[in-house]
Amino acid sequence: MSDWLITGCSELLTLRGSVPRRGRALRELGIIRDGALLIHNDRITAVGRRRRVERLRESRRAEKLDLGGRVVLPGFVDSHTHLIFPESRAEEFEQRIAGKSYEEIARNGGGIRSTVNAVRRTPAKALHQSALARLAEFAAHGTTTIEAKSGYGLDWTSELKILNVLRRLHQDQPLDIACTFLGAHIVPPESRRRPAAFVDQLVRRWIPSVATAGLADFCDVFCDRGAFSVPQARRILATARACGLVPRIHAEQFAHTGGARLAVEQHAASADHLEMLDRGDIRALSLSNVVCTLLPGCDFHLGLPQRAPARALIDSDAIVALATDFNPGTSPTLSMPMILSLACSQLRMTPAEAISAATVNPAYSLRQHDRIGSIEVGKYADLAAFDVADYREIPYYFGVNLCSLTMKRGTVIHSKKCETLGHETAR
Ligand code: NIG
Ligand code: FE
């Protein structure tokens, strides 16, 4: 580790200020033009205009990195991923194009079940290798922290295999990974006839064991038609809380079930998906500290016309975040910039709102806002630089990767030379 003086930030999006962001505060990016920052080891020690930061005594000794007029922002925090799975489900993609629905495919034994079968027969080493390659891709798109869930094992041995792969990944690569136990993804095939017994097992054995062994910080439930009901999810999340795990929930994606209200009742860190929210839900969420994590990659990939009500949530002061939901069934993307593009064009979020929803608010939902999510003195030096002149061009260009540098805790973990797209910058 070393000290860095970073200059040449045409726009330095600090995101300084209050956390979490609600309503109009989502538009406040704390932009410093011609910005600079000073880093000591893994932390930020000064942020400001170039002239001021350059004059600091510590700046003279630091290694210099001139970004030549790029837009710099906090590394993205992707607070919803299913990182660990062995293979794509491209054949289901093709079946959906031919007219089958996601839920139909799942009912016929495909969907989550087919990934569960694949995970069970894949050795930990292979899962580890594919995860490493994916984490490098996350980093290449500007992401510096992710959340990752289990949930494709669904027997004790296979769930442990996933959680242990996640734990080892922590040591083997630079990104931070917050770990979530999703033993309640679906009822696995062998328990199909006795779902209540599966929930009993989760509540009596698996959740307490995961918590005691310190294998996860969060516990998630897929609460929807075809997965777990609200009463089942309530029991699971209440147990998780009693064991010291913080609840998260997949809610209101395909059917309106009451999952969002359950998130409020159980003080969940976040409620994710939310396409089917009603007005009462929006009000309840906006009066709570539950982070509404929208996953626009799903509707895009599944080709569904539904949209999460991002505008209504923001306008009623709910805490909104965005995430990839990286998984083989509904959202096979690792690109937060692509998610920002979808949030702007499909959910009608402004570029500034989308950036806050991809940095400070997900940091809050992962309970890490004291160290990540903004560029402020004392926080980790987690940054992404984009080869654009104006931050709005990050979501404006889509399907291209303009992230030219990613830094995690003061170490450069990705860098590439980009040509500028349709603008001139002073280099
Ligand atoms: O977040 N909704 C539940 N879980 C995933 C989909 C998982 C899969 O299809 O493999 C999601 O969309
Ligand atoms: Fe998910």
Tens-digit pLDDT profile for residues 149-180: 999 999 999 999 999 999 999 899 999 999 99
16 lines ligand 1 (CB under 6 A): no
Beta-sheet pairing, 403-408 with 411-415: antiparallel
Task: Report CA-CA distances (Å) from 87 to 24, 83, 126, 148, 418.
Answer: 41, 11, 11, 17, 31
State which of 152, 325, 339 you would mutate to test the pocket of ligand 1, scoring each by most atoms of that ligand within 8 A of its C-beta: 325
Both tokens of 45, joined, read: 């020690």
Of ligand 1's listed atoms, the one at least distance from the Cα of 111 is 9
Strands (DSSP E) contained in 268-402 are: 270-273, 291-294, 319-322, 383-386
**Any bridge partners for residue 393, and if so which?**
none
Kindly state the helix (H) or strand (E) to which residue 8 belongs, with its residue range.
strand 4-13
Q: By alpha-carbon position, which residue is closest to atom 1 of ligand 1?
A: 325
* pLDDT for the residue numbered 424: 43
Q: How far apart are CA 403 and CA 394, in angstroms?
A: 9
Of ligand 1's listed atoms, the one at least distance from the Cα of 102 is 9
Residues 274 and 294 sit within 8 Å (Cβ to Cβ): yes
Q: How far apart are CA 391 and CA 423, in angstroms?
A: 13
Beta-sheet pairing, 176-184 with 218-223: parallel
Task: Report CA-CA distances (Å) from 317 to 20, 218, 282, 323, 357.
Answer: 11, 25, 9, 19, 13
Query: Does residue 142 sit in helix, strand or coil?
Result: coil
Measured over the CA atoms of residue 209, residue 212, residue 215 and residue 216, the dihedral's sign is positive
State which of 108, 327, 333 you would mutate to test the pocket of ligand 1, scoring each by most atoms of that ligand within 8 A of its C-beta: 327
222 lines ligand 1 (CB under 6 A): yes
Contacts of 184 (CB under 8 A, 6+ apart): 151, 199, 202, 220, 221, 222, 227, 228, 232, 233, 236
Kindly state the helix (H) or strand (E) to which residue 70 belongs, with its residue range.
strand 63-74
Residues counted in the chain: 427
* pLDDT for the residue numbered 8: 97
* pLDDT for the residue numbered 2: 82
Q: 376 CA to middle of ligand 1, Å?
A: 35
Q: How far apart are CA 167 and CA 178, in angstroms?
A: 10
Residues 251 and 280 sit within 8 Å (Cβ to Cβ): no
pLDDT digit string, tens, across residues 307-364: 999 999 999 999 999 999 999 999 999 999 999 999 999 999 999 999 999 999 999 9
AA identity, residue 326: F
149 lines ligand 1 (CB under 6 A): no
Of ligand 1's listed atoms, the one at least distance from the Cα of 253 is 2
Q: By alpha-carbon position, which residue is closest to atom 12 of ligand 1?
A: 330
Looking at residue 189, what DSSP letter applies?
A: G
Q: By alpha-carbon position, which residue is closest to atom 9 of ligand 1?
A: 329
Q: Token match 């940095």: residue?
A: 359
Q: 327 CA to middle of ligand 1, Å?
A: 7
Residues 150 and 116 sit within 8 Å (Cβ to Cβ): no
Read off φ and ψ for residue 366, nearest 5 degrees: -95, 5
pLDDT digit string, tens, across residues 407-427: 999 999 999 875 544 444 433
Per-residue pLDDT of the chain (427 residues; tens, 9 = 90+): 689 999 999 999 999 999 999 999 999 999 999 999 999 999 999 999 999 999 999 999 999 999 999 999 999 999 999 999 999 999 999 999 999 999 999 999 999 999 999 999 999 999 999 999 999 999 999 999 999 999 999 999 999 999 999 999 989 999 999 999 999 999 999 999 999 999 999 999 999 999 999 999 999 999 999 999 999 999 999 999 999 999 999 999 999 999 999 999 999 999 999 999 999 999 999 999 999 999 999 999 999 999 999 999 999 999 999 999 999 999 999 999 999 999 999 999 999 999 999 999 999 999 999 999 999 999 999 999 999 999 999 999 999 999 999 999 999 999 987 554 444 443 3
Alpha helix positions (H), 73-123: 90-97, 102-107, 112-121
Kindly state the helix (H) or strand (E) to which residue 35 belongs, with its residue range.
strand 31-40
* pLDDT for the residue numbered 1: 63
Q: 227 CA to middle of ligand 1, Å?
A: 10
Q: 68 CA to middle of ligand 2, Å?
A: 38
Query: Does residue 387 sit in helix, strand or coil?
Result: coil
Q: How far apart are CA 405 and CA 69, in angstroms?
A: 13
